[in-house]
Amino acid sequence: MTHPVCPLSAIPPGEAYRWAVEPPVAIFHTEDGQVFAIDDTCTHQDASLADGWLEGCEVECPLHASKFDLRTGRVDAPPAKRPVRTHAVEVVDGVVHVTLSTEAPNLPPGPAVADSALTDGAK
C-alpha cells in the first residue's frame, strides 16, 4: 500500500524527514533531487539515520559512523553488518508517496540481547 507522507518541499535538498510509522522510516532528498526511503534505525545500534549525514546516495549514522547506500540499503562502512530495508518512493504532484517494504526489518539488538550476552559471558 502506498502512503502520502509529506510535501517534497518539506524536505530541502540534502536533508531528511523522519516518518513516524512502526518501525520509523527516513526519507532523504539528495542534493541532486533524488528521493529515497529507508528504515530510520541503524542496524548496529538504536540511532536515527534521519539525524545522520547525507553525502550523495549515502547516509552516515550519527552514533558510530556506519554508512548505508540509500539505493540498496547495503552497508558501505562498518560497524554495522546488516543492511537497512529500502522502500519504494514516488513524488506525485509535489507529494512524497512511500510504499513500505513487506520484508522483515533488520533491527539492532535490543537491551535484552545485550543483557543476556553480559550474563552469559560472566559464567
Span 41-50, pLDDT tens digits: 999 999 999 9
- For 2-121, CATH number out of 1.10.260.40, 2.102.10.10, 3.30.420.40, 3.90.1150.10 equals 2.102.10.10
pLDDT at 121 over 80: no
What is the rounded average pLDDT of the residues 70-97?
98
Supply the pLDDT for residue 40: 98
Grid coordinates given for 49: 539515520
Span 11-67, pLDDT tens digits: 999 999 999 999 999 999 999 999 999 999 999 999 999 999 999 999 999 999 999
Beta-bridge partners for 81: none
Dist CA 39 CA 115 (whole Å): 25
Exposure on the CB side of residue 117, measured as CA atoms within 13 A: 6
Q: Where are the domains of the chain?
A: 2-121
